[in-house]
Each structure stands twice: as structure tokens, then as C-alpha cells.
């Protein structure tokens, strides 16, 4: 059995377009007995919504239980001591934190923590309230620092761009939940405790996360945020895209490199 940690944006799809060949490659991998965990820093969607998107857009079989988002890493970092939480984000954050028992506020003076992720409805007032809460002593937690999200037409601002606004306005630095940081690695390791492959398109998140885990072998794909092979190969392997990565894994007989 082979365990595969797979990134989504820029690996299986770009926005609402599938990367060619991913459905067939994933089916081959599953047919060979491989297990997949879809691990995304993007906390905009709930795991159920992410699984729907993987099936609908990429044509790849996926269950809610196979999805890990950075909001789940935030859950592992927080406790009732952080309630109430002021959220800058979407359903993918509020639903996961709510399920974990966190309570919410929009009052910057009442907030004990501020959790910031991708928020496509962000406005000036929300940035102002979040910055005031952080300045007033609330814990400052970012789901992730991805500067961009790769889509069909290019790059859209990622959660990191929103975090930067609150960081600049408050003068405080966030704790970070998502790839490549430990809270996300802990969530993944609980599911896949042994050796695993990791396929991703970002050097500073996906590949950096694998570098921190000696048992994970990383494969960089060039279909997303990284379009040229890096000069100093920080990943273990570099291939054109997800189908080539799966071929490479299966060609090794599914044997995991320790
Ligand atoms: Mg990606």
C-alpha cells in the first residue's frame, strides 16, 4: 500500500479547470491499492465542499474524510481559552471551528483570538476590527500564508495577502496553521503516520512541508504556482504534472522511499 499526500490547487485543477489526465492517473493509483489524502492550505471551502470540487472538477474519486484543510490545523492549535474567535474568512473556517466547539464574535474588544484565512468578501471594516482585536491582545492565527491561488487565468490573491494587511495594521506577526508548519503536519501524520509521497506545486508550502518530514518523498509538479524547474532542487523529484508523478510512483512498484 502506498500513501499519497496530494495538494489540490495547481496540481489537480486550476480554478474550475482540471489538469489534463488527473482523473485517469488517480484511478490507476487507487486501482493499485494506493491511499490518498487531499491536503490544501485553502480554507475557503469545507472538507465536504472540497471533496465535491475534486469529484466535479477533477473527476477524481474523493471522500470528505480524505480531505484536510488548514482550518483543521487551526482546530488543533486552539482551545476554549481562545473563545470567542473573530474570524476573517469563509464557511470553510467557521464551520470547522464551530464543529470543534469554538464560539465567535465580531467585537474586537471581546475576541480572545483572531483566525484569518481566504475571505473573498473582505472589506476595510473587517480588516480594521481584526487588527484592533490583535492590538488588544487577541491571539493572531493565520490559516496559511500562500501569497496567491493559481487559477485558469493566472494568480489570485491568497490568504497571505489578507494576513499581511492585518499584520501591517496591527504590528503583530501571526502563528500559522497550514503548510509547511507543524499544526498541518500533525493533522496529516495522524492519518498517514508512516512513509508517504507528497505531490505539490509550491516550494514554500508543499515541498517545504515534506522537507520537514524525513519519511515523506516530495514530487514538485510544474502545472501551478511553479512553472520552471527550480535551479537548486529542494524537492526530491520534479515532473511535468500529476499524471507523470503517479506514473513515477507506480513505476517504483508502489514501493515507498524511506
Ligand atoms: Mg497548490
Q: Which of 3, 9, 201, 206 is catalytic?
A: 9
Answer yes or no: is pLDDT of 256 > 80.
Answer: no
Over residues 220-227, the mean pLDDT reads 94
3, 7, 82, 146: the active-site residue: 7
Residue 99 is a catalytic residue: no
pLDDT given at position 254: 57
Residue range 207-220: average pLDDT?
95
> Quick check: is 7 catalytic?
yes
pTM of the entire predicted model: 0.93
* Strand pairing class (148-151; 154-157): antiparallel
161-205 confidence digits (pLDDT tens): 999 999 999 999 999 999 999 999 999 999 999 999 999 999 999
Residues 6+ apart with CB under 8 A from 52: none
Average pLDDT over residues 59-70: 98
Question: What pLDDT is recorded for position 111?
Answer: 98
Cα 169 to ligand 1 centroid, rounded to whole Å: 28
pLDDT reported for residue 230: 87
Query: How many angstroms does the Cα of residue 40 sit away from the middle of ligand 1?
Result: 7
Sheet holding 3-6, edge to edge: 67-69, 35-40, 3-6, 196-200, 216-221, 237-239
For the stretch 112-150, pLDDT in tens is 999 999 999 999 999 999 999 999 999 999 999 999 998
**H helix runs in the chain, sequence order:** 22-31, 47-53, 70-77, 91-99, 124-135, 159-170, 182-191, 208-211, 242-251
What is the chain's mean pLDDT, rounded? Answer: 95
Amino acid at each position: 500500500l502506498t500513501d499519497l499526500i496530494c495538494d489540490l490547487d495547481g496540481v489537480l485543477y486550476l480554478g474550475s479547470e482540471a489538469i489534463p489526465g488527473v482523473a485517469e492517473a488517480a484511478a490507476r493509483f487507487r486501482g493499485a491499492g494506493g491511499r490518498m489524502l487531499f491536503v490544501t492550505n485553502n480554507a475557503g471551502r469545507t472538507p465536504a465542499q472540497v471533496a465535491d470540487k475534486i469529484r466535479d472538477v477533477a473527476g477524481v474519486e474523493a471522500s470528505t474524510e480524505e480531505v484536510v484543510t488548514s482550518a483543521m490545523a487551526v482546530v488543533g492549535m486552539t482551545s476554549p481559552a481562545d473563545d470567542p474567535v473573530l474570524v476573517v474568512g469563509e464557511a470553510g473556517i467557521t464551520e470547522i471551528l464551530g464543529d470543534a466547539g469554538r464560539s465567535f464574535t465580531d467585537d474586537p474588544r471581546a475576541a480572545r483570538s483572531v483566525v484569518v484565512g481566504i475571505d473573498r468578501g473582505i472589506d476595510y471594516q473587517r480588516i480594521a476590527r481584526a487588527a484592533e482585536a490583535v492590538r488588544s491582545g487577541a491571539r493572531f492565527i493565520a490559516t496559511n500564508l500562500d501569497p496567491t491561488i493559481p487559477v485558469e487565468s493566472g494568480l489570485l490573491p491568497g490568504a497571505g495577502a489578507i494576513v499581511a494587511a492585518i499584520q501591517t495594521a496591527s504590528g503583530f506577526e501571526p502563528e500559522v496553521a497550514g503548510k509547511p508548519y507543524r499544526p498541518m503536519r500533525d493533522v496529516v501524520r495522524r492519518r498517514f503516520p508512516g512513509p508517504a509521497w507528497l505531490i505539490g506545486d509550491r516550494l514554500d508550502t508543499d515541498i517545504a512541508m515534506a522537507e520537514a518530514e524525513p519519511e515523506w518523498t516530495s514530487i514538485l509538479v510544474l502545472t501551478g504556482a511553479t512553472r520552471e524547474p527550480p535551479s537548486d532542487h529542494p524537492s526530491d523529484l520534479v515532473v511535468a504534472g500529476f499524471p507523470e508523478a503517479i506514473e513515477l510512483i507506480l513505476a517504483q512498484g508502489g514501493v515507498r522511499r524511506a
